[in-house]
Chains A and B, each alone.
Chain A
């Protein structure tokens, strides 16, 4: 990030905070819009709350499970639809239905099917699947056709093509899709927890805080959720960059070997 860009980020952050402070002064009650110090104080309280750790851990676990399941599923579906256009067409109506259904509708229906603890995971998988599957398919399609042809000419084995050409060239797409859907996962998991109300979870804690009119608590829990989402997405993006560099290296090496 250049110095000027950094400055822009800082200025906009300051404006954001100032706006928040002004609005909270105008609202004149922490019930409606708590001030930044109110929320910071509550964040500190949250740190020593024994329930909080349990809630955060529960949400984190749900998010990881949802992401893992969605990742595995979308790798299979995405790869298949990337390689076979017929399969992509077959999958299309399913994906469009999933993509255009409101999250809340899925949550309300799923509560009746599963227990309240599974609903957030199920819905998160459902919501992220189209995003990641689409990215995977795109990555698979983006493979260099000439490279594939050449591999065929040199009678490279199928697993070898997969490991050395297909996966490395699709990896950047897959990881970018993964990063985007990881952010989405947290949002959906928490929405599912708010409505499904499992024993523990950040969403359950938010819902309780809302019912108790603990508005600062709702804000501080939201900040925790934001941090969780930003940090995991950042980690994945970094991973994506590493992988793409590695992928490029692999392709270069391949080219070198074949040359």
Chain B
């Protein structure tokens, strides 16, 4: 009897200890984003994460949304950055899983070419435009704008055969003449164009969107929060969002200093590219209560061309974080 006493005591001590540790254990706040320009605004925050009591913040970057999707569905991402159509689809497919906290990026789609005769959408008649973003915002906004400007569907050929990453090189080398691309590809293409044949931004879709009376701008990047997480941890979410907002403002004010942080953040962007792209990236901070109108005006475009891509209908008011 005496001999088995110490082990039992030891076991009790051990249990007591683990229990105490469990009570003090830190919680993680899991942030998810897709590599590329949409995460640039987060880079400073990743370098200096806000201190939230009892919380470790982890950042996950993935090459494509497919990798993050299961995590959104299973609640393994608490706060993330998503394009509006994906956010709406997710909201409908995994009912009420997420809510939009803010718009963090507006339109950054530009037509890049070295052809001096291109100044407006109409000038593209008869041309082939390579578009990065088949089945998403670039394609459907472009189609909408062509229709609004009375340009028949067949007269501007949209080609989706080149992956976005290859378009800058193809433009710079003259293999293709016209491309509709987002940042940072626009910047990369212009940076890499030969001296004798510079590329330029012929026009941006933002201006055309406004001219067509669809709104002042359209969102391309949203910050979303897992609804259950926001309900359980309103304080933490508020703190994080405040830090994110500040990080975006700082990034816009200091593109040169932000570049190296973006490279270090592992978003797949070189510092020089990031610094040059930041002024064209249209980072904003539009709170959820003001975000509904611009988001719905963009999603209406999806509803017309591919309703299934956003889940068949506009998301209800639960989509916007209160």
Contact = CB atoms under 8 A, between A and B. Distances in A.
Contacts of B90: 31, 213
Interface stretch (B105-113, B158-166, B194-202): B158-166
Contact of B73 (A29, A197, A207, A214): A29
B95 to A, nearest CB: 10
Interface in A1-28: 27-28
A28 B97 CA distance: 13
B134 A29 contact: no
Interface residues of B, number: 25
Q: How large is the interface on A (under 10, 10 to 19, 20 to 34, 35 or more residues)?
A: 20 to 34
Interface in A98-124: 108, 111-112, 115-116, 119
B161 A198 contact: yes
A211 B136 contact: yes
Given A27-B70, A29-B94, A213 B309 contact: yes
A32 B69 contact: yes
B308 interface: yes
Contacts of B65: 213
A32 B76 CA distance: 14
A197 B160 contact: yes
A207 B135 contact: yes
Nearest to B89: A213
Contacts of B134: 197, 207-208, 211
A111 B175 CA distance: 11
- The majority secondary structure among interface residues of chain B is helix
A198 B66 CA distance: 22
Max chain B Cβ within 10 angstroms of own Cβ: one of A108, A112, A115, A119: A112
Max chain B Cβ within 10 angstroms of own Cβ: one of A116, A119, A198, A211: A211
Max chain A Cβ within 10 angstroms of own Cβ: one of B73, B90, B170: B73
A28 B73 contact: yes
Given A197-B134, A210-B66, A212-B309, 20 more contacts: A29-B93, A29-B94, A30-B93, A31-B73, A31-B90, A31-B93, A32-B69, A111-B161, A115-B161, A116-B159, A195-B161, A195-B163, A197-B161, A208-B134, A208-B135, A211-B134, A211-B136, A211-B309, A212-B308, A213-B65
Interface of B: 65-66, 69-70, 73-74, 86, 89-90, 93-94, 134-136, 159-163, 166, 170, 175, 306, 308-309
Interface of A: 27-32, 108, 111-112, 115-116, 119, 195-198, 207-208, 210-214
27 contacts: A27-B70, A28-B73, A29-B93, A29-B94, A30-B93, A31-B93, A31-B94, A108-B166, A111-B162, A112-B170, A112-B175, A116-B161, A195-B163, A196-B161, A197-B161, A198-B161, A207-B134, A207-B135, A208-B306, A211-B134, A211-B135, A212-B89, A212-B306, A212-B308, A213-B86, A213-B309, A214-B309
Question: What 9 A-B pairs come out closest when comparing CB atoms?
Answer: A211-B135, A116-B161, A212-B309, A197-B160, A29-B73, A208-B135, A196-B161, A213-B89, A31-B93
